[in-house]
Structure 1
């Protein structure tokens, strides 16, 4: 449950609940705890083959601590022993036209900006390989993708024979794979020793001019909008533009660009290695004080946000309305387990066919295909990510499903 550390009054100070815990970004030995959610699944995207297996899935705690020295936020209760990423970790988003449009735009931007033609590209945390293969297709590049959950051959591509996939966690032993360009998308937020990780990447580059691009969720939006559905166990590291940029500078990089995209949900950093520490601060960076203000805003409003959605689901159940969640991934798991309202919905829907017939860890609901809704005819569809609302509404209309579509 959400603990009493969350306050609706401005009297609560960020200094009032300090704990001894080293900041993974800067090494400061004190963090201020400001948000707790107990007993949530330690993984959101590991697909379970039975309902019992899903219900019995291990749980842990989320206790977010803020570092007032660098602005970084981390789950102080995170235990790396649960980092069991494997081929049944299913986070592939390329079944969405909306997401594919963004990926194509990003790939073309990077290829044009860094002249990625006939180059060697490394992707750390490549998931099922969609983006790496796209970069290699569009620029006639060669690639190496490193990820414990990769499934070689899952994604068909004319560049497949130019790409090697390594089913492993990235570490110093992969330092030989550097190439001309390194990208890493939606991986750093899953890693708690952030400084150690970025320094490992920097060490592998040595004196080469390899450009790096990282993409992660933007924590500024999470705090300002109280997006509790984006706070879950395996996301142990939360970055704002400034905290991310400071980490890269401290690790031997110069930040060349810093920006948000995809409805301001994703934060991207482009950086190059430098021999001497960089003093260059990007205009998009905010101060530690700005992050502290966002933390205070989150504390002030989060209880109201949680109460709103809890009441929304309770009212729908009281009216015997059939409520479906669209999107069965991490946001869905966080939405239902944070609110403790797993019993308020019957089904979750997802367009990823590799999720169909599987069960959501910690939630126990079977994941259905969108076509299921033709017969089920729900009264409400709650969209876990608002950026897909138009896409989903069109799919529902094409299937002849008339329902209320509500986005988080």
Structure 2
């Protein structure tokens, strides 16, 4: 991508430190630093077998830089040597009825929109394979799933014999795996060289312009506006809004056909088609660099007040002798506890994923308990890491006879 004049560069303001750092999204050489969290676990979903291993887990720094050229946000301190995704990376969400409904609705929409019947689907970053299996079931399709954390046989289905799981990182060596749809969900935010990655996807497609592409990632616009610090952690080195995502796909050789938000407006989804000449079509939902800069300023100006309020609340509950539990042991939980540095104020963590039970949270050390544990413990406050799950959590608590106060972060 050719660089426009610096006259078009959007500066955040004199109070922000500008560093020389190449934007991995557009190649611009200046980023403005606006948020820092030091000494956080380099992985949030690698489950540790012992408490000591969890406490001793390697840590790194999150220092977010904003590119005034394309609006992209990245962790300038990210080190790819920590990208050690493996089968014990436990990010499976399909134990939640709320999430399963979303995944089913999404899969049905994609199958029907792109006529994915008896077709070939490639999923980059397929995790344990839930979504790929679903797409193959709904459309009688064939699948290839590429992910170093894949566990063959974790998801049981009659269609698994039509799916090839490759326990590896996606790269140009898998360029022959193209298919009729390339799907990539919650993976791009873990990739530091974003332009290189999306460029590899485009080059693998080549002249097969009928191949459709679908990506899903967290929406950074919501994080900035809602001060959602729990959604900022080390593995997520790349942060997009509709505008920065659309600009990346266009310069990589795609025409953006849809950009939209879903799942309580937490997720950012893009659909695109490969083109032979660079598209100039800008989707109406894309935000400008100036609009992203405004949200960055809002975040920087208000985040400390939110962090301080949570610290005060946790200390107050501790002083009152209240039993406080966090529901959800994934990345949001790790970011919540380590950013606030108040691990001592939360006694227990619970999670519905049985593959997490009895494991320990990296950098924190608390053991992950089953929700059944709460029947005996009877907490005073349950902090829910994602408010979209409150209805299903409340039902589980009611069914177990647990009377407590739910607080969604």
What interval of TM-score do these two structures reach, taking the shorter chain for normalisation?
over 0.9
The aligned counterpart of 1:40 is 40
1:114-193 → structure 2 map (5 Å cutoff): 114-193=114-193
CA–CA distance in structure 2, aligned partners of residues 16 and 214 of structure 1: 32
Cα offsets for 1:42-69 (capped at 9, x unmatched): 0000000000000000000000000000
> Is 1:223–1:295's contact at 8 Å kept on the other side of the alignment?
yes
Shift of 1:370: 0.3
- The answer on 1:370 being equivalent to 2:387 is no
CA–CA distance in structure 1, aligned partners of residues 157 and 379 of structure 2: 37
Shift of 1:158: 1.7
CA–CA distance in structure 2, aligned partners of residues 301 and 15 of structure 1: 14
Secondary structure class of the residue paired with 1:159: helix
> Is 2:74–2:239's contact at 8 Å kept on the other side of the alignment?
yes
Distance 1:15 1:313, change over 3 A: closer
Shift of 1:14: 5.8
The aligned counterpart of 2:106 is 106
Distance 1:339 1:364, change over 3 A: same
Shift of 1:76: 0.2
- The answer on 1:86 being equivalent to 2:101 is no
Shift of 1:15: 6.3
CA–CA distance in structure 1, aligned partners of residues 305 and 395 of structure 2: 31
CA–CA distance in structure 1, aligned partners of residues 339 and 100 of structure 2: 30
Gaps of 5+ in 1: 1-11
The aligned counterpart of 1:260 is 261
The aligned counterpart of 2:73 is 73
1:242-321 → structure 2 map (5 Å cutoff): 242-321=243-322
Shift of 1:289: 0.1
**RMSD between aligned residues:** 0.7
CA–CA distance in structure 1, aligned partners of residues 347 and 14 of structure 2: 39
The aligned counterpart of 1:323 is 324
CA–CA distance in structure 2, aligned partners of residues 162 and 16 of structure 1: 52
Cα offsets for 1:206-252 (capped at 9, x unmatched): 00021000000000000000000000000000000000000000000
Shift of 1:346: 1.3
Secondary structure class of the residue paired with 2:122: strand
Cα offsets for 1:237-288 (capped at 9, x unmatched): 0000000000000000000000000000000000000000000000000100
- The answer on 1:17 being equivalent to 2:17 is yes
> Is 1:116–1:141's contact at 8 Å kept on the other side of the alignment?
yes
The aligned counterpart of 1:8 is none
CA–CA distance in structure 2, aligned partners of residues 128 and 111 of structure 1: 20
The aligned counterpart of 1:347 is 348
The aligned counterpart of 2:214 is 213
The aligned counterpart of 1:403 is 404
Shift of 1:354: 0.1
Cα offsets for 1:184-219 (capped at 9, x unmatched): 000000000000000000000000021000000000
Secondary structure class of the residue paired with 1:267: strand
Cα offsets for 1:308-359 (capped at 9, x unmatched): 1111111110001110000000000000000000111111000000000000
CA–CA distance in structure 2, aligned partners of residues 377 and 133 of structure 1: 38
Task: Give me the TM-score of the superposition, normalised by structure 2.
Answer: 0.96
CA–CA distance in structure 1, aligned partners of residues 16 and 340 of structure 2: 25
CA–CA distance in structure 1, aligned partners of residues 42 and 297 of structure 2: 27
The aligned counterpart of 1:385 is 386
Task: Give me the TM-score of the superposition, normalised by structure 1.
Answer: 0.97
The aligned counterpart of 1:6 is none
Gaps of 5+ in 2: 1-11
CA–CA distance in structure 1, aligned partners of residues 384 and 15 of structure 2: 36
Cα offsets for 1:288-319 (capped at 9, x unmatched): 00000000000111011101111111111000
CA–CA distance in structure 2, aligned partners of residues 225 and 173 of structure 1: 40
> Is 2:250–2:279's contact at 8 Å kept on the other side of the alignment?
yes
> Is 2:216–2:269's contact at 8 Å kept on the other side of the alignment?
yes
> Is 1:15–1:32's contact at 8 Å kept on the other side of the alignment?
no
The aligned counterpart of 1:9 is none
